[in-house]
């Protein structure tokens, strides 16, 4: 199979559930309509229809990791269950190519009365593996789960964390072509999560496809090649993880009065892209190279200086709906007051923006965030450590200028700055306004740079020869 060939194909998928007001209606639905049809009458419907998914189409390629995000009740779990075959679509088709291993609801697929050992063999049999093959892998499964003597105890005695450990150990050690995970890993402790993600990375190198639901935007950005946003059973966005997570957060924090408008904008944007549900790739920044060749780099290095490039702007800027405040003119300046967006590593800068308040606001805090091109959050700051320490009141009509200083420790590359203002609305802290990817920064390349990875926190200090005394046997 080609590396780019789809291993999951979903076309026009819709899923409808029947909901009943009481158990009696379920019995009436089973008995009365058939009799009415037999008598030539219009059958009575004793249920309401709930469409968990509506016209969802997407494809996932071999070796891809795709994250699914969305609010509770958006249809994420239903989509995964249809892909795994535990639910039958009402309309549409789902095709998978290869062995599918799934971690859906916590402990699903386990018989609580059987021991962990017995459940390992039962799960493997469902996936089509023979007993001899499972016995060969059993020690690896037991070692990965690391639940000790509980492996011989009934699963009903397990904690939620132990059940996840065993379920993931089974799924990951049976060499699936497709691994489907529905938020189950969030139950495990941090060390086990890291262990799971490390194993997923290893299996991805061997061509495994991963599809998972997570409420952690940072996890989706860090692990995924693409992301999908669902809401109300509809597909709202497909594309780069950082962009999709930003849209998800915009929808999540939108006031109830603006939520439908935000959804409509996302649907329109998806349609404008032609409904491309496979690649979803879009260039972040249409910017020319800042330094053309090695000779120019060598010439520029001794006098490297920050500057401002007016054409260097993000295409991923996303503003939240306002709740009575508006962020204006975000920009980065040198300590001397010169506006810049091409920075020199190791120097200090000031991030400034203004906030205009249309209505009065309680317990106000301001924030900033630095992200990478892929959306990984590098660093951030807020104006106060808690709600209690925040600005108690800002009156309507006031405009405040906010300033954050930061040391540019990032290595050469492209980065984004976001900004936000928080306040109390109906007793809860929420964004009064926020702009994701408000401005783009480029950290300039430096000749002789020995720092690696994203940020420059380490520096080589040198080495010193150490005299060693050699002892000769028999001397």
Q: Does pLDDT of 337 surpass 90? A: yes
**The whole model's pTM is what?**
0.75
Q: Write out the two tokens for 316.
A: 């991923």
Distance CA 52, CA 324 (A): 34
pLDDT value at position 223?
84
What is the rounded average pLDDT of the residues 129-142? 89
pLDDT value at position 35?
92
pLDDT value at position 292?
40
Q: Does pLDDT of 189 surpass 90? A: no
Cβ 83 vs Cβ 65: under 8 Å: no
Distance CA 451, CA 454 (A): 9
What is the rounded average pLDDT of the residues 325-332? 98
What is the rounded average pLDDT of the residues 200-220? 84
Please enumerate in sequence order all residues whose Cβ is within 8 A of that of 444, keeping only pairs 6 or more positions apart, or say none. Answer: 290, 291, 300, 304, 306, 342, 343, 344, 345, 412
pLDDT value at position 285?
39
pLDDT value at position 379?
95
Which CATH number does 300-443 carry?
2.70.50.60
Q: Give percent above pLDDT 70 in the chain.
A: 88
Beta bridge partners of 119: none
pLDDT value at position 254?
84
pLDDT value at position 349?
98
The bridge status of strand 234-239 relative to strand 226-231 is: antiparallel
pLDDT tens digits along 69-97: 998 889 999 999 999 988 999 999 999 99
Helix/strand/coil percentages in the chain, nearest 5: 30, 35, 40
Q: Does pLDDT of 316 surpass 60? A: yes
Q: Does pLDDT of 424 surpass 90? A: yes
Query: Rounded to whole angstroms, what are the CA distances from 444 to 302, 347, 371, 413?
Result: 13, 12, 16, 7
pLDDT value at position 459?
84
Listed in sequence order, the DSSP H helices in 22-181 are: 23-38, 76-84, 116-126, 131-145, 160-173
Least confident piece of the model among 149-158, 183-192, 310-319: 183-192
pLDDT value at position 415?
95
Q: Report residue 190's pLDDT band, with 50, 70 and 90 as the boundaries.
A: low
- Terminal Cα-to-Cα distance of the chain (whole angstroms): 66
Domain ranges of the chain: 300-443
Q: Does pLDDT of 125 surpass 90? A: no
Averaged pLDDT score across all residues of the chain: 86
Packing angle, helices 116-126 and 131-145, rounded to 10: 130
Strands (E) across 195-239 are located at 209-213, 226-231, 234-239
Q: Report residue 283's pLDDT band, with 50, 70 and 90 as the boundaries.
A: very low
Q: Does pLDDT of 1 surpass 70? A: no
Identify which of 303, 288, 304 has the alpha carbon closest to the alpha carbon of residue 414: 288
pLDDT tens digits along 355-407: 999 999 999 999 999 999 888 899 999 999 999 999 999 999 999 999 999 99
pLDDT value at position 282?
34
């Amino acid at each position: 199979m080609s590396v780019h060939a789809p291993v999951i194909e979903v076309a026009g998928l819709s899923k409808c559930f029947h909901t009943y007001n009481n158990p009696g209606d379920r019995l009436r639905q089973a008995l009365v309509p058939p009799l009415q049809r037999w008598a030539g009458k219009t059958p009575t419907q004793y249920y309401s229809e709930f469409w968990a998914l509506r016209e969802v189409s997407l494809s996932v390629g071999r070796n891809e990791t795709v994250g699914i995000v969305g609010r509770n009740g958006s249809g994420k779990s239903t989509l995964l269950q249809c892909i795994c075959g535990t639910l039958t679509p009402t309309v549409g088709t789902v095709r998978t190519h290869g062995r599918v291993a799934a971690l859906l609801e916590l402990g699903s697929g386990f018989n609580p009365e059987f021991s962990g050992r017995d459940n390992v063999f039962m799960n493997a049999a469902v996936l089509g593996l023979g007993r001899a093959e499972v016995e060969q892998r059993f020690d690896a499964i037991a070692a990965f789960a690391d639940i000790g003597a509980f492996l011989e105890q009934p699963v009903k005695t397990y904690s939620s964390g132990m059940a996840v450990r065993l379920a993931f150990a089974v799924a990951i050690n049976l060499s699936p072509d497709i691994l489907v995970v529905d938020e189950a890993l969030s139950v495990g402790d941090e060390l086990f999560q890291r262990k799971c993600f490390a194993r997923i990375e290893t299996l991805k190198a061997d061509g495994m496809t991963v599809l998972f639901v997570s409420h952690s935007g940072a996890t989706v950005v860090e692990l995924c090649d693409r992301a999908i946003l669902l809401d109300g059973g509809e597909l709202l966005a497909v594309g780069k993880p950082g962009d999709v997570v930003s849209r998800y957060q915009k929808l999540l924090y939108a006031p109830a009065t603006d939520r439908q408008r935000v959804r409509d904008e996302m649907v329109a944007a998806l349609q404008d892209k032609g409904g491309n549900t496979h690649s979803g790739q879009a260039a972040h920044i249409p910017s020319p190279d800042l330094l053309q060749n090695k000779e120019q780099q060598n010439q520029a290095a001794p006098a490297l200086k920050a500057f401002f490039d007016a054409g260097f702007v993000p295409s991923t800027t996303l503003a939240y709906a306002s709740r009575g405040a508006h962020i204006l003119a975000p920009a980065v300046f040198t300590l001397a007051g010169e506006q810049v967006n091409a920075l020199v590593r190791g120097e200090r800068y000031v991030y400034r923006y203004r906030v205009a308040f249309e209505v009065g606001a309680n317990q106000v805090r301001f924030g900033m965030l630095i992200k990478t091109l892929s959306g990984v959050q590098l660093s951030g700051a807020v104006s106060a450590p808690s709600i209690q320490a925040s600005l108690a009141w800002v009156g309507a009509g006031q405009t405040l200028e906010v300033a954050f200083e930061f040391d540019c420790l990032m290595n050469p590359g492209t980065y984004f700055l976001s900004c936000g203002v928080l306040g109390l609305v109906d007793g809860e802290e929420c964004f009064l306004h926020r702009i994701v990817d408000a401005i783009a920064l480029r950290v300039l390349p430096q000749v002789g740079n020995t720092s690696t990875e994203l940020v420059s926190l380490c520096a080589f200090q040198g080495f010193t020869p150490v005299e060693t005394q050699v002892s000769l046997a028999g001397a």
